Each structure stands twice: as C-alpha cells, then as structure tokens.
Amino acid sequence: MNRIFIDLDGTLIDNSFRQCLLLCNFIKLKNKKIEYKKTWSLKRNGYNNQEILANFGISNANDLNIFKIYWKNNIESSFYLDFDFLFDGTVSFLKKINRNYKLYLLSGRSNKFNAISQIDKLKISYYFTDIFFVEPSKIIEQKRFYLKNYKPKFYIGDTEFDFISSSNLTRFLAVSTGQRNINFLKKKCIKNIFQNLDQIIKSKTIII
C-alpha cells in the first residue's frame, strides 16, 4: 500500500490564532498597537517573526532575544495549543484517503508530549500508521530524512519548507490554508497548490 505523509500545523489544523495571539501578546507588552489581521497577513506573505515584530516597531536586539525565549517557552504550551482547531474537512479527508493509503504525520514540534496530547484530543491519531515530529530548527534536514527513508507517494504541507523538504524525494501537494497564501507559494515555484484538502480529492490527484 502506498504511503502519504502529511504536515500538521496549517495543513490539518488551523493554528493561526495561536501564533498571532502569542505575537500580539508580546507586542502588547512593548506598549505597541496590536493588529491581529495585519500580523497574520504578514505571516501568510512569508514574513518571519523577527520581520513581523519590526513592522510593529520592535527591532531592538535585546527585545528580539527576549522574544525568542518567550516564543520557545509558550508556542507549544498546552494553554496556547488549545486555541488550535481542525480545518473544516480534515476528518473527511483523512477518512477518504485512509482507505487506500498508509498515512504518516510529519510535522515540526519540539514538545512531543504536548503534540501527541493535542492530536489525541482532536481525535485524529487513529488515522495514522505512525507519527513523526522533528525539531523546528532542523525542520528541512529532519523531514528529508523521513521522506527519503519511507518514500511516500505524496507529501502534503502548507509552506515552502515542506516543499524544500520533499524536493526530489516525493510529489509535494500544497494547501494555501496555512502559514502561506497562494501568491507566496507560487513565487516559490510550487506547482501543485490547492485551496483546501477537499480540493485535492476533487482534483483526483489522489485516487480514493
């Protein structure tokens, strides 16, 4: 049976509020005006956290170092993870492709215990033959390790890092529901871009 590897954040679950809330809480600490929509728009256009903070007038080296620690200590905490939710159609998608493929979850997370707890709470762990988490700081090289060894037919993700990870190893299918919008993904020369998971099924790219 063929394998499909799937990313988690931005692909199966909407983590936009978690990321923006954490960023905006830090911006608020620095007495800057909070703009949630602008924060997520910048993220979807390819801005990293440091560049987003700079857009809100936070560029001091000391402040950025404090933020890195603040982000690392909170982004995968149970409190913030509880703001994530499944995209509409995630469960339906997993049910459909699970019939003819072995599914593997491959995503960047440091706190594996909290990640597994979240997946169990969202009731999607059942659909996966195995679950792999890699360090966000080494996301490309570690994802490539799994893709090279397991040789899946597809890898489904939402960022340019997922695309690079799968390059020359498997066919990458991008969804534009996550951290990157469709225009940004196109600029990265990604060809197979879908508005959501259901569109992948409707396109018959994956035969169910």
Q: Which amino acid is at 136?
A: P
pLDDT exceeds 90 at position 31: no
Residue 101 has what pLDDT?
97
How far apart are alpha carbons 20 and 11 in whole angstroms? 17
Gyration radius (Cα) of the chain, Å: 17
CB burial of residue 4 (10 Å; 0-12, 13-18, 19+): buried
Regarding beta strands 171-175 and 85-86, do their DSSP bridges make them parallel or antiparallel, or are they unpaired? unpaired
54 CB-side CA count, 13 A: 9
Q: And the tokens for 88?
A: 């509409």
Q: Would you place residue 32 in the very low, low, confident or very high pLDDT band (cuts 50, 70, 90)?
A: confident
Q: Which residue's entry shows tokens 């700079």?
A: 54
Query: What is this structure's pTM?
Result: 0.95
